[in-house]
Structure formats: structure tokens, C-alpha cells
Chain A
């Protein structure tokens, strides 16, 4: 199915919650409102025409000028072997953009729909700072309730892949400066 057909099915089902689409790029996508994202995700997985049951990855964009974060969900449909050969086939490919404002980034989790989202959302929180609400592996600390960090240390300050991240000067007594006589954190 082409991305246009998938978008038509989604628009008939959800109407205004599909905020936009863009098919002329190398990565055709649809933009979904973040409040409606879990039910759209359940529909994408369970609808018999689509069956997008494989979450390939979650990427995230830091749009500093537009003051947004965008989480990009890359979905596939893997069908089990029907007859003859014993290879799974890939039917549909699709991608979804969910954007949130940069000052208070929260996106509802879809870990209950695709189990792969569990670790990908932890990585997106760790490196970009988008908090996923109701994540199954959340911890509560001075930054609120957020998914547990997966790559950086648990008491790391900041989110390294943001465009305005400042490198730490030291961590638990170990110096992290790279220039001689460095006194200010650098980007």
C-alpha cells in the first residue's frame, strides 16, 4: 500500500487528529497529534489492512528555531510466511511524526503497543529529553516522572544530543575539560 492510501485510511478513521502529511520526501510521513497518538498507534497495529506490527526505530529531531521536538516512529508490517518459502515478507512501510513543544516535552508512550518502544523511548529521553508519560520503566526524581536513562549514567545532568547542550566540566571528581585553562563549559 502506498503512503497515500494509508493516510486515506487514517483520515477516514480519525479525521482531524491527523495534523498533516508529506509524501515528496525520501521518508514519507504523516503527522499525528500527540494526545491521540496511543489510539492511532493501536489502530495502526491492529487494523487488518495495515498491520504495522514492527517498530523499526524511534528517532527524534531538535528543531531549535521552531521550538519543537519531533519523535519519528518508523513502522513496518512483517507478515509471516504464507505458503512456499519460509521467509517473512515486508508489506507496508510507514512513518509517523509526533511533535511536542520544546519547553515542556511530553509524549504519551506506545510501549504497550510495540514492545520495542520501551528501550527506544528510554534512549530518546536520555539523549534528547522528551519525557514519555506512563512509560513502564519510569523513575521519579527531581526532574519528575520520566523513563529511566539507558546510555548515560543515572545521575547525568542534561540531555547530550540537544542543540544547546553544554559539555560537563567534571563528573564526580573526574575532570572532563578538553582545552588547557578551560574555565567555562563549551558546546
Chain B
């Protein structure tokens, strides 16, 4: 689709093509299992049968970032872990989304005041699309977050694809080496 991305004027809506692509993308978001701490248990709960996430098309949890669309950061991120989170985010192919699950990833959580080794919110490390609060969030809350993400994807358009515009900023060898 690169021949059409960002080449049309603002305001031109490619309706049925966008609709079809967004429908396909939003109804098959494959998450990457990135359970770091207690929120991983609630993520496992949505993978199980009672709060089935497979009915949203998102039941195929991929272990490898190369095959995943959505990185659900479920659990506390330490400074030691932060470089690995960033590395895995860079390894995901676009279009990619990040969900910050639980209070620790949203803003440090219960470790905000005295956690010397806790990153106060994973959005200091990777760009986050959707925040799901809770400690831990109930499985229904996580599913609501997933549905809001689906709405967000349905409103995207190929004419202004944000990953292409992000790449236009020159990626010099120095910035590439720091990733």
C-alpha cells in the first residue's frame, strides 16, 4: 500500500478501502505476551475460556515480537528491563500498538513514591496507544481497552499513516545504534 500512503491531500477519504483494511486490522490484533508481573495473570484470564479474547480475533498470542501487532505491557517495568522492552518494541513490524496494562505501566503504580528501580510509567520507554488502569485491571477492563483500541484502529486512514511519517524523520546511524 505504500504507493498510496501520504500522497493524497488532507481531507480526501478513501472510504471503502480504508474501511476494509481497518476492519481486517482491528479484528485480528495478535498480542505479544509480555507479562512481567501480576497483571500477566489477568492477561492469562482473558486468554482462557471465561473472558474469551479469541472472540475478538485476538486470541493468537505470539511469543515472538516479529509476528505480533500489539504489545500488552502487563506488569512493572524496572530500569533493568526497560532496555529490553525498547528492544522488543523496535523488533515489532508496523503497524504496531502498545497497551499499558495496570497501574505500574500507566504511571509507576504503587511503586511511584519509593520505587528506586521502577520506571514511572512505560510511556517513558515506548510510545503507548492505550492505557488500561487498575491494579490489576479486571479482565473485562482489559477487554474494554482492547475494544477501544479497535475503535482507534477503525478511525485510521491510509492517507495519513503515522508509521510512515515517523520514519520520514531522518534515522541517522547514531540514532539507529541507540535503539
- Could you tell me which A residues sit within 8 Å of B by CB distance? 151-153, 156, 160, 165, 167-168, 171-172, 174-176, 178
Question: Across the interface, which residues of A come within 8 angstroms of B78, CB to CB?
Answer: 153
Write the chain B residue with the least CB distance to A153. Answer: B80
Q: 8 Å CB contacts to A: which residues of B114-129? A: 116-117, 119-120, 124-125
Chain B residue at minimal CB-CB distance from A165: B116
B119 CB contacts on chain A under 8 angstroms:
174, 176
Q: Would A153 and B124 count as touching, CB distance under 8 A?
A: no
Q: Measured between C-beta atoms, what is the minimum distance from B70 to chain A in Å?
A: 23
B50 at the interface (CB under 8 A from A): no
Known A-B contacts: A174-B124, A176-B79. Give 20 more (CB < 8 A): A153-B79, A153-B80, A156-B79, A156-B117, A160-B116, A160-B117, A165-B116, A171-B79, A171-B82, A172-B79, A172-B83, A174-B82, A174-B125, A175-B120, A175-B124, A176-B116, A176-B119, A176-B120, A178-B112, A178-B113
B residues in contact with A156, CB < 8 Å: 79, 117
Min CB distance B90 to A, Å, is 15
Q: How far does the alpha carbon of A156 sit from the alpha carbon of B116 in the complex, in Å?
A: 11
A-B CB proximity, top 10 nearest: A153-B80, A171-B79, A160-B116, A167-B116, A174-B124, A153-B79, A174-B82, A174-B119, A152-B117, A178-B112
B interface, CB within 8 angstroms of A: 78-80, 82-83, 108, 112-113, 116-117, 119-120, 124-125
User: Roughly how many angstroms separate A151 CA and B124 CA in the complex, as a whole number?
Assistant: 21
Q: Which of B108, B117, B124 has the most chain A CB atoms closer than 10 A to its own CB?
A: B117
By beta carbon, the residue of chain B nearest A173 is: B178
How close is A127's CB to chain B, nearest CB, in angstroms? 10
Residue ID in chain B nearest A167 by CB atoms: B116
Q: Give the nearest-CB partner of B124 in chain A.
A: A174
Cβ contacts under 8 Å, B117 to chain A: 151-153, 156, 160
Give chain B nearest CB distance to A115 CB in angstroms. Answer: 25
Q: Once bound together, how far apart are the Cα atoms of A171 and B125, in whole Å? A: 11
Residue in B78, B112, B116, B119 with the greatest tally of chain A CB atoms within 10 Å? B116
Nearest to A177 among chain B residues (CB) is B120
State in angstroms the CA–CA spacing of A156 and B108 once bound together.
Answer: 19
Cα of A178 to Cα of B116 in the assembled complex, Å:
10
C-alpha spacing A165/B115, complex, angstroms: 12
Give A77 to B110 CA distance when docked, in angstroms.
39
Give complex CA distance A174, B125 in Å. Answer: 7
When chains A and B are docked, how far (Å) is the Cα of A172 from the Cα of B113? Answer: 20
* A23→B79 CA distance, assembly (Å): 42
Query: Which of chain A's residues have a CB closer than 8 A to the CB of B108?
Result: 178
Q: Which residues of B contact A172 (CB under 8 A)?
A: 79, 82-83
Measured in the bound complex, the distance between the Cα atoms of B142 and A51 in whole Å is 53
Cα–Cα, bound, A165→B117 (Å): 13
Do the beta carbons of B79 and A178 come within 8 Å of each other? no
Residues in B neighbouring A151, C-beta threshold 8 A: 117
Which listed residue, B79, B112, B116, touches A174 by the CB 8 Å rule? B79
Chain A residues near B83: list those with CB within 8 A.
172
Pair B80/A152 contact, Cβ less than 8 Å: yes
Least CB distance, B98 to chain A, in whole angstroms = 16
Find the residue from B82, B112, B125 having the highest chain A CB count within 10 A: B82
Neighbouring B residues of A178 by C-beta, 8 Å: 108, 112-113, 120
